[in-house]
Amino acid sequence: MPETEDPFFGGKAPPFAPGDAPPFTPPNPNAPAGDKGQAPPFAPGHAPPFHIEPLPPGIKMDMLPTQPDDNKPFNPSAPMGPIPGYPSIGFNDTPLNPPPRSDNIDQYFPKNRPDIKGPAIITQDQARRALVEHCNTHCCWSASAAQEMSVSNMLSSNAFQYCLETFCEKRSTAWAKVPYTGQSVDGPHNGPAPMPWDIPATYGAKFSTEKRLIEVPHTACVKPCEYCQACGWLRCNRCQGHGMSMCTSCHGSGRSFGASQQQQMCMFCQGQGRRRCTTCGGHGRIKCHMCQGYRSLKWFIQLTIDWINHTQDYILERTDLPDELIRDVRGHIAFQEENVQVFPINHCPEPSINQASNSIIAKHRTAFPNERLIGQRHTVRVIPVTEADGHWKDKKFRFFVYGLENRAYSDDYPQQCCCGCSIL
């Protein structure tokens, strides 16, 4: 609708560019003559206009571009010409292949390896104590059966967990931007940009995951913000810059129906049919969120470094205890070895652990082609598991005590649901 036909302005051109002046104050029809415009125009629950900064010098309201569609990606032009070493730099992170390795992996072959140490045996008393403690930590398990039970068929065994950790570094680059507020700009005039894998950075802790963002030196420049066409502001989409939008209460009619079905003036818009736009507070414009109103952006190549600890394990557990429970308890570290690269073990008394070591190491050798290998560590843990039958009254049940902390597990313990709930 052309502005001159705008019913809001009564067919007259507004005395100021929409939104460029103090927010519009609809006349109060109930106000006595001479008081027009002074009565608070805000409908109940409607916020008063907030203070807004003036437009930058030389920028007029009608110059403001409309808000770009947030669902469409912002595709600015390339901040600068090609930068040596960064040929395919884009606006999305592109992973970089690590430089080829020059080391000979045979040098990491272990000269001698420690033995894999044996198990721990648990006594009947320890098993009972573990079960009593376990019952005390479950609200629904009564400890009396555990205290009074007799124990038979106690059988101790060892569970084994083999775990390989492969610690790698991944690098990727992309153009990044921040509002230009006058900060220093390290551009190509300071020298050539270092190659992405030559930028020094060290992880905080080995075998743990970490992310770091680094501005690549000598790649920065300042450009006008293309999002707002360097205005610093955008025309409000909701009200098209008028500062007012249709009243959702009366759907623009300005009238509503009272209790007696009598037509009356809509109280929410004072009969105007339109209300102050809640998106822009009635100003018709919102600050550009790309440049935060600074009108310029500092662009630079951002290097993203991810240190990743890839882990894979294999559990050998021969009883009916759910295998995954082994992962969360303490055990003896029977063997541990760390190097740039590790080699499969072949001296574990359990052949399936040796086989698992072989296949997991082989898999990790080629699993992360886009990452630089920093180090590997493999561990064999031995976790004691004791299985026993408990007898209480005329009931018989099986239970397990496992881990160095003697955790207990039973899925047919007789006093699980004393309080009637079914959640353990």
Residues of the shown chain interacting with Zn ion in the complex, contacts defined by CB under 5 A? 225, 227-228, 236, 238-239, 247, 249-250, 266, 268-269, 277, 279-280, 288, 290-291
Q: Report the nearest approach of Zn ion to the CB of residue 56 (Å).
A: 11
Backbone angles phi, psi at 145, to 5 degrees: -60, -40
Q: Report the nearest approach of Zn ion to the CB of residue 276 (Å).
A: 9
Q: Report the nearest approach of Zn ion to the CB of residue 24 (Å).
A: 11
Q: Of 240 and 415, which CB lies nearer to Zn ion in the complex structure?
A: 240
Q: Report the nearest approach of Zn ion to the CB of residue 341 (Å).
A: 49
Q: Report the nearest approach of Zn ion to the CB of residue 274 (Å).
A: 8
Q: Report the nearest approach of Zn ion to the CB of residue 254 (Å).
A: 6
Q: Of 187 and 271, which CB lies nearer to Zn ion in the complex structure?
A: 271
Q: Of 292 and 415, which CB lies nearer to Zn ion in the complex structure?
A: 292
Residue entry with tokens 């623009």 = 252
Asked if residue 215 lies in contact with residue 300, where contact means CB atoms within 8 angstroms, the answer is yes
- Residue 372: name the closest of 87, 94, 101 by CA: 101
Residue 203 class from Cβ within 10 Å (0-12 exposed, 13-18 middle, 19+ buried)?
A: middle
The CB density around residue 195, as the number of other CB atoms within 10 Å, is 13
Q: Of 76 and 85, which CB lies nearer to Zn ion in the complex structure?
A: 76
d(Cα 40, Cα 270) in Å, to the nearest integer?
11
- 372: tokens are 């630089």
Q: Of 52 and 373, which CB lies nearer to Zn ion in the complex structure?
A: 52
Q: Report the nearest approach of Zn ion to the CB of residue 39 (Å).
A: 17
Q: Of 228 and 388, which CB lies nearer to Zn ion in the complex structure?
A: 228
Q: Of 159 and 290, which CB lies nearer to Zn ion in the complex structure?
A: 290
d(Cα 21, Cα 340) in Å, to the nearest integer?
67
- How far from 180 is each of 146, 176, 300, CA to CA, in Å? 70, 12, 11
d(Cα 101, Cα 315) in Å, to the nearest integer?
33
Residue entry with tokens 């609809």 = 26
Question: Helix or strand or coil: residue 152?
Answer: strand
